[in-house]
């Protein structure tokens, strides 16, 4: 398994976070030409209180957010709009040893449920988008600079489209 999911909030079990996270992370890596079986991502399904603590500890923001990610290493591109420094690909079976850790993701139930309801979309679709988004962050993609944001959003739209999900950036 690519994702190792820990559920601190039981509502994530009913929302099927574990299979959603696995499918979304696999789709993101596969789209980028990376073998998902070579990597590992830890996913924490938590509530707003827990993610607010994490947000305060790591980003000095005292509010809850939908998703946070912590890459195992810095892979970001130097120039705005360039592709990040993705992990090297190896032929199938060429890599020995444990999977390479890409990093950690935390996702908050209440914020995700509220955002999905406000956008009139299924929770599963919104969660899938957020896990794709966070996985891209683990790979060095970002959305702070304009061209980086355009690149990242385009990838998210392509990945979700291949999964049969609508463009999350289109207005209804």
Tokens of 86: 């993705």
Give Cα 103 to chain centroid, integer Å.
Answer: 10
Tokens of 1: 């398994």
Instruction: Establish whether 31 is an annotated binding residue.
Output: no
Instruction: Establish whether 129 is an annotated binding residue.
Output: no
User: Using CA atoms, how far apart are residues 152 and 158, in angstroms rounded to an integer?
Assistant: 10
Instruction: Establish whether 143 is an annotated binding residue.
Output: yes
Q: Which of 13, 10, 36 is nearest to 23 (CA)?
A: 36
Tokens of 97: 């040893």
Show binding-site residues for Zn(2+).
133, 137, 143
Show binding-site residues.
133, 137, 143
């Amino acid at each position: 398994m690519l994702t190792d999911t820990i559920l601190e909030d039981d509502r994530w079990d009913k929302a099927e976070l574990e299979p959603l996270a696995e499918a979304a992370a696999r789709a993101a890596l596969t789209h980028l030409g990376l073998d998902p079986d070579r990597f590992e991502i830890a996913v924490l399904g938590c509530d707003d209180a827990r993610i607010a603590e994490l947000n305060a500890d790591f980003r000095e923001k005292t509010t809850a957010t939908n998703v946070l990610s912590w890459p195992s290493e810095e892979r970001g591109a130097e120039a705005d709009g360039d592709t990040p420094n993705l992990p090297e690909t190896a032929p199938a079976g060429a890599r020995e040893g444990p999977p390479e850790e890409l990093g950690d993701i935390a996702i908050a139930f209440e914020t995700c449920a509220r955002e999905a309801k406000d956008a009139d979309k299924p929770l599963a679709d919104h969660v899938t988008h957020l896990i794709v988004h966070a996985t891209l962050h683990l790979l060095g993609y970002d959305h702070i600079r304009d061209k980086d944001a355009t690149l990242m959003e385009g990838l998210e739209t392509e990945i979700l489209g291949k999964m049969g999900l609508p463009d999350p950036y289109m207005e209804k």
